[in-house]
Structure 1
Amino acid sequence: MSRADKPLPSIDYLNPRVRLCRVVSLIGYLGLIGTLLIYNALIADLHGANPWIIIGTLTVPLLIFMPGMLKGNIRTHAWLCFAVNLYFIYGVLTCFQPERMLYGSLLTGFSTLFFIPAMGYVRWGFQAQRVNNGES
């Protein structure tokens, strides 16, 4: 027995969810970049390391996705979910250092704030594309 295809939701149902998820995931994305920049440029004791090298190493993987994020590309959101998992892990590990707990909490929070709505954006965005293309 094959499963019957589930009908797609209406575009009126999908559009508000797509917009909300895109905005919230963009806030999480920009918050993650901002946290990395501010902490490593102004607060962190880098023990003589060049701060631009540290900032570049931490932010370039996120900045690669910037054009697609600003355009609202659905595939960019999907791929960035993989990369953001590394920042989530980094944030959790940083939380175990008492003097850096706030920094780790911000990284973990912004990673989560990006990841969950980005998954919704990917799901509902692809469904909206299918509805706009005439599938039912």
Structure 2
Amino acid sequence: MTDSANNKIARKLRIAHYLNWACYSGLMLLFAVRNLFLPGGSLKWWVVQTIPLLLVLPGLLRSHYRSYLWLCFILLLYITASIVDVMMPGRGWQHGLLLLLSLTLFFSAMMTSRWQRMQ
């Protein structure tokens, strides 16, 4: 690859890393607020929702491309559940935000993995 192509990939990768961490943090914060501070939440559901995301955290901190791939697989569960919840009448705004954060993190993690392998 040429230097120009490497610079473009490096720039895209840097943006994707910021987006990954923003969405990952947003999901963790959403789960904490929803389950620990709002009525109807529980500590049990907070643990169930956060443990899968925490499993890939060590690899994400080291920027391993396989961890981003595993994150994508895990996010498919969150995306599926949030689509079902968004379509149900009377659900709160949290489900729409969960869908938005999960989809954004899915696509940015997928592209991060791809761009890391290209470098």
Alignment of 1:44-55 (within 5 A): 44-46=39-41, 51-55=42-46
State the SS of the aligned residue for 2:92: helix
Residue of structure 2 aligned with 1:106, choices 92, 97, 102: 97
Alpha carbons 1:95, 1:103 under 8 Å: kept: no
Taking the aligned partners of 2:94 and 2:88, their CA distance within structure 1 comes to 10
- Gap regions ≥5 residues in structure 1: 1-6, 129-136
Alpha carbons 1:78, 1:119 under 8 Å: kept: yes
Taking the aligned partners of 1:81 and 1:102, their CA distance within structure 2 comes to 23
Taking the aligned partners of 1:16 and 1:42, their CA distance within structure 2 comes to 38
Residue of structure 1 aligned with 2:17, choices 16, 22, 29: 22
Change (3 A) 1:59 1:83: same
- Gap regions ≥5 residues in structure 2: none
Q: Is residue 2:79 matched to residue 1:88?
A: yes
- Provide the aligned C-alpha RMSD in A: 1.8
Alpha carbons 1:36, 1:58 under 8 Å: kept: yes
Corresponding residue number in structure 1 for 2:26: 31
Which AA in structure 2 matches 1:84? L
Listed one character per residue, the Cα deviations across residues 57-92 of structure 1 (whole Å, up to 9, x for unaligned) are 111011111122222221101111000010011111
Q: Is the helix fraction higher in 1 or 2?
A: 2
Q: Percent identity?
A: 25
TM-score by length of 1: 0.78
Radius of gyration: which is bigger?
Answer: 1
